[in-house]
């Protein structure tokens, strides 16, 4: 369980923002940052960096864009060794939106991509690396990736980038432990100079277990969120992850405190976590958007009808 080289990244505000269109207020973000910093977690991903010419500020909160001044305002005066990260999506950011690292409070840029867009992801990651950032490439919807395409993508990333890590992203919460082992071994086969990371979603109550499996198999970059907050079923709970790692540099107490003070009240306002519709989309290896729509409808608890709607031909 204890491996000194493991790096833990908290993506509470970034992934949690997918629930409420990134409309967290400054005090909430500040309290999360204080807790993550005090807990000794290595990185905190404070949101996305999107271009306002592509994504409208009228439709999303400030943590969709992570302007430097907004980040500085939220973290001002907090002493910490925790590094800050932002995520950039291929196709949603312009190169000029990435300042030189020396002019930014951000330390790491993580590039999110699908296998089909790996060329664009590499270009974006190399741009960020050249500007002085630590970088990763996060391959989303990995459970849908074709083997040959993933092989080519990993080989290309190894040859053409200097990213620190490449992530297995279980976007649909569809993976089981044997899938994780298979993917970690595949990543390690191609990535001789880079670490392997894992980012789990909890559709089938397996985000934590799959993260543990990834660690056992050699993942040294691991993601979690406070109280498992995240889109739909949420993510690997940070409090469980810290408890598992047994690294003396981590302190669980600030995480537990912020859960009581900030996340229990928030849970009364917005919904996340394991629910049957999200489990069903995970079983079918599908994006949870249909389950999310169901939860906003009058039929939100009609699980059988939803299950049958997912694959009527197979069930006839």
State residue 136 phi and psi, 5-degree precision.
Answer: -135, 160
CA dist 161 and 154 (Å) reads: 10
- The arithmetic mean of pLDDT across residues 188-210, rounded, is 98
pLDDT at site 168: 99
Q: Is the model's pLDDT at 155 over the cut of 70? A: yes
- The arithmetic mean of pLDDT across residues 139-162, rounded, is 98
Q: Is the model's pLDDT at 313 over the cut of 70? A: no
Share of the chain above pLDDT 90, in %: 96
Q: Is the model's pLDDT at 315 over the cut of 70? A: no
Per domain, the residue ranges of the chain are: 7-267, 278-315
pLDDT digits (tens, 9 = 90+) for 8-35: 999 999 999 999 999 999 999 999 999 9
- The arithmetic mean of pLDDT across residues 137-146, rounded, is 98
Task: Dig out the tokens for 41 from the structure.
Answer: 């977690």
Nearest alpha-carbon partner for 176 in 222, 143, 225: 143
Q: Is the model's pLDDT at 36 over the cut of 80? A: yes
Q: Is the model's pLDDT at 214 over the cut of 60? A: yes
| Helices 26-39, 68-75: crossing angle, 10 deg rounding | 60
Pick the CATH number of 7-267 from 3.20.20.70, 1.10.260.40, 3.30.70.270, 3.90.1300.10: 3.20.20.70
- The arithmetic mean of pLDDT across residues 112-133, rounded, is 98
Nearest alpha-carbon partner for 35 in 251, 244, 208: 251
pLDDT at site 1: 59
- The arithmetic mean of pLDDT across residues 288-309, rounded, is 96
pLDDT digits (tens, 9 = 90+) for 241-283: 999 999 999 999 999 999 999 999 999 999 999 999 999 999 9
pLDDT at site 316: 43
- 264 within 8 A of 232, measured Cβ to Cβ: no
CA distances from 23 to 14, 18, 46, 66, 98 (A): 11, 9, 12, 12, 22
Q: Is the model's pLDDT at 314 over the cut of 70? A: no
- 8 within 8 A of 239, measured Cβ to Cβ: no
CA dist 180 and 214 (Å) reads: 6
Output the CA torsion sign for 278, 185, 237, 23: negative
pLDDT digits (tens, 9 = 90+) for 48-69: 999 999 999 999 999 999 999 9
pLDDT at site 31: 98
CA dist 117 and 120 (Å) reads: 5
Burial of 268 (0-12, 13-18, 19+ CB in 10 A): exposed
Average pLDDT, the chain: 96
Share of the chain above pLDDT 70, in %: 98
CA dist 128 and 101 (Å) reads: 8
| R_g of the chain, CA atoms, integer Å | 19
Cα-based torsion angle of the residue sequence 305, 282, 54, 152 in order, rounded to the nearest 10 degrees: -140
- The arithmetic mean of pLDDT across residues 174-180, rounded, is 98
């Amino acid at each position: 369980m204890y491996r000194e080289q493991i790096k833990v990244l908290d993506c509470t505000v970034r992934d949690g923002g997918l629930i409420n269109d990134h409309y967290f207020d400054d005090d909430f973000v500040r309290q999360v940052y204080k807790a993550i910093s005090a807990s000794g977690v290595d990185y905190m991903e404070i949101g996305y960096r999107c271009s306002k010419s592509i994504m409208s500020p009228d439709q999303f909160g400030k943590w969709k864009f992570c302007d430097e001044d907004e980040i500085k305002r939220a973290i001002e005066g907090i002493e910490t060794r925790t590094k800050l990260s932002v995520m950039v999506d291929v196709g949603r950011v312009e190169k000029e939106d990435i300042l030189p690292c020396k002019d930014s409070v951000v330390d790491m840029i993580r590039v999110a991509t699908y296998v089909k867009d790996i060329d664009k992801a590499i270009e974006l990651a190399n741009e960020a690396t050249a500007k002085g950032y630590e970088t990763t490439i996060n391959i989303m919807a990995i459970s849908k990736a074709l083997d040959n395409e993933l092989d080519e993508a990993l080989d290309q990333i190894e040859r053409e980038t200097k990213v620190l890590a490449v992530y297995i992203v279980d976007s649909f919460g569809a993976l089981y432990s044997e899938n994780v082992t298979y993917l970690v071994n595949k990543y390690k086969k191609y990535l001789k100079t880079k670490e392997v990371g894992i980012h789990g979603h909890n559709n089938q109550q397996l985000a934590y277990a799959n993260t543990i499996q990834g660690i056992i198999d050699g993942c040294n970059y691991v993601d979690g969120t406070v109280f498992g907050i995240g889109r739909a079923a949420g993510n690997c709970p940070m409090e469980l992850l810290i408890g598992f790692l047994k690294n003396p540099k981590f302190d669980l107490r600030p995480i537990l405190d912020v859960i009581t003070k900030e996340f229990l009240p928030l849970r009364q306002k917005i919904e996340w976590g394991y629910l049957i519709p999200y489990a069903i989309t995970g079983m079918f290896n599908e994006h949870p958007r249909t389950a999310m729509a169901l939860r906003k409808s009058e039929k939100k608890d009609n699980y059988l009808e939803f299950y049958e709607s997912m694959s009527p031909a197979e069930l006839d």
